[in-house]
Amino acid sequence: MAREIKFSLVYRDMWQSSGKYVPRVDQLLQVAPAIIDMGCFDRVETNGGAFEQVNLLFGENPNVAVRKWTAPFNKVGIQTHMLERGLNALRMNPVPKDVRELMYKVKCAQGTNISRSFCGLNDHRNLRLSVEYAKKAGMISQVALSITHSPIHTVEYYMGVVDKVVEYGCDEICLKDMAGIGRPTALGKLVSSIKKKYPHIKVQYHGHCGPGFSPASMLEVARAGADYLDVAVEPLSWGKVHPDVITIREMMKADGFLVKDLNMDAYMEVRRLTQSFMDDFLGFFIEPTNSKMSSLLVGCGLPGGMMGSMMADLKGFQGAINMSLKKQGQKELSLDELAVKLFQEVEYVWPKLGYPPLVTPFSQYTKNTALLNLMSIIKGEPRWKNIDPDTWNMILGKAGKLPGPLAPEILALAKEKGYEFYDGEPQDAYPDQLDHYRAMMKEHGWDCGQDDEELFELAMHERQYLDYKSGVAKQRFVKDLEAAREKAGAPIIVKRAVVEVPKIDISKVTEVYPDAVAIQAPTTGQVVWQYDVVDESTAPLVGDKVKEGDIICRVQAYYGLEEIKAPATGKFVAVYPAQGANVKKNEILAFIVADK
């Protein structure tokens, strides 16, 4: 008898892999009935990862969003699944143990059936508590292997991780092929090995299109015994996202697998609604190149989902890089030329850093290191001059064990800086904090919420939750949207009251003002032009005076606020990021011309 292949719609990841935001809860509730009516899905990915932070950025309550979004699927028996990052849970940095445990209780109570848990380093120690806590809360525990392609990431390597997480009690294994660079034959062998050794374990495959391997990979893993395949729908399928359900379903059917019928009228309604959400506002935040696949991703292995942020980073750095090249009498670089150079530098950096799978947050760390190296090389300076604290934590073992050995130059640099390597349990370095957050809730006079979900949200996303509660998040989002709409039809401007000041192209400033001094971000984070004030009008305007030593800006990093002081007395001649904008280390924020 033919074996059935089941499908999961990764509606959350479709959006996250395309742009900055996901649909609002009212939009999700519009599309849910049509997704159900399609009739071909046994599962839908509903929340987790950045989804709930995005709700906070909207000024929405993520707990309300998750409960409302999972409810229609729960009602008809479609399983819902979330994505969480092991030690990092739903954020980019490590989470205390008691907060991690509360997460599963909250998410299960909110209607999420399956916890897909991954560690970006494939360190099984970071997944042990994910398995234990998910099952204790009543969820299905699915452990995701972060798939990549390197001399180290063999079938035997991955089976070593599988053996441990099955020992911990997980119910399912997911192959999380986040960059889509897993080779189809190797993935088929991996699934065969899992099914042969653990026939009771269900296997799900998640692969981004990226360089184009994923349809072949889906066929190979299905033939090898996989149970579920993650798919998308137009207009957000393919490109850097996931293959479309129509194509994959027909491919499976032609290969002899049983597949559920697909209601095309409902598919077209999902397609129409998704496009309407893009037309409403979400399309303003989608990187156009994410709709295209690229073979260039085969070499660097970067996940397709971060292409939008990477291109934004490059645009931010392009002016500074070309300014440096111009001073050296060298040819300026286009964005495409910069992208190729960055891909090449990622290929160089990746093995030196111990082959961390390029998935959140380690893809960002590797890319950031490569980008800063590229800046140094262009300036004629040595590599590794700038490595941010998060990347050092990864190097030193504080996030888990790296798959491969560090390069001698990285070891020497750590020794030179007096850093110590950590080989203990990563979780032990992050003490419990729920009592602290309970006290904060009490101090503010806030209710901990149904099933302690409001307490959890504060503990998981403290800064974003405080912004949500104060109304700052909603104000910031409205301004972000206004700026995006304006950008789509006219040049961006900096506003204060009714004053409008056109921005000077970052690469042209020194042509107009040869003595201009660039003000650069000291770290990656969020721009705060005036402490505790969120109105964009607090950003300086062109012509504003400043005194040497004045604090002109702060950047909110994960470890606190970094102050930026005026290097000279003078006036602003160019200002770039708006209040609350995210910037990268060394990105130019403004230019000042000193008084003579």
Contacts of 290 (CB under 8 A, 6+ apart): 17, 18, 19, 239, 240, 241, 304, 307, 308
pLDDT tens readout for residues 256-315 = 999 999 999 999 999 999 999 999 899 988 878 788 888 888 877 777 656 656 666 777
Positive or negative: CA dihedral 428, 114, 286, 67: negative
* Residue 356 contacts residue 365 (beta carbons within 8 Å): yes
Q: Which of 226, 311, 320 is nearest to 516 (CA)?
A: 320
Q: Which CATH class is domain 491-594?
A: mainly beta
Whether the CA torsion 295, 301, 306, 310 is positive or negative: it is: negative
Torsion of CA 118, 119, 123, 125, to 10 degrees: -70
Is the bond preceding 361 in cis, omega lying within 30 degrees of 0?
Answer: yes
User: Tens of pLDDT along 562-572?
Assistant: 788 888 899 88
CA-based R_g, the chain, Å: 24
Class of the domain covering 6-285: alpha beta
Query: How many Å apart are CA 589 and CA 520, to the nearest integer?
Result: 6
Q: With both helix axes pointing from N to C terminus, report the angle between 62-76 and 25-38 in degrees, rounded to the nearest 10.
A: 20
Mean predicted lDDT score pLDDT of the chain: 89
Residue extents of the structural domains in the chain: 6-285, 297-429, 491-594
Residue 180 reports pLDDT greater than 70: yes
How far is the C-alpha of 513 from the C-alpha of 426, rounded, in Å?
50
CB 108 within 8 A of CB 76: no
Q: What is the pTM of this model?
A: 0.80
d(CA 153, CA 159): 10
Q: How many CB atoms lie within 10 A of CB 447?
A: 11
Closest CA to 118 of 133, 101, 130: 130
Whether residue 137 has pLDDT greater than 90: yes
Of the two residues 346 and 527, the one the predictor is more confident about is: 346
Q: Do the domains 6-285 and 491-594 sit in the same CATH topology, yes or no?
A: no
Q: Give me the pLDDT at residue 503, please.
A: 56
pLDDT in tens, 207-253: 999 999 999 999 999 999 999 999 999 999 999 999 999 999 999 99
Note whether 204 and 242 are within 8 A (CB): no
Question: For residue 533, is pLDDT > 60?
Answer: no
pLDDT given at position 443: 94
For 61, how many CA atoms within 13 A lie in the half-sphere containing its CB?
Answer: 12
Confidence of residue 583 (pLDDT cuts 50, 70, 90): confident
Of residues 19 and 8, more confidently modeled: 8
* Per-residue pLDDT at 532: 36
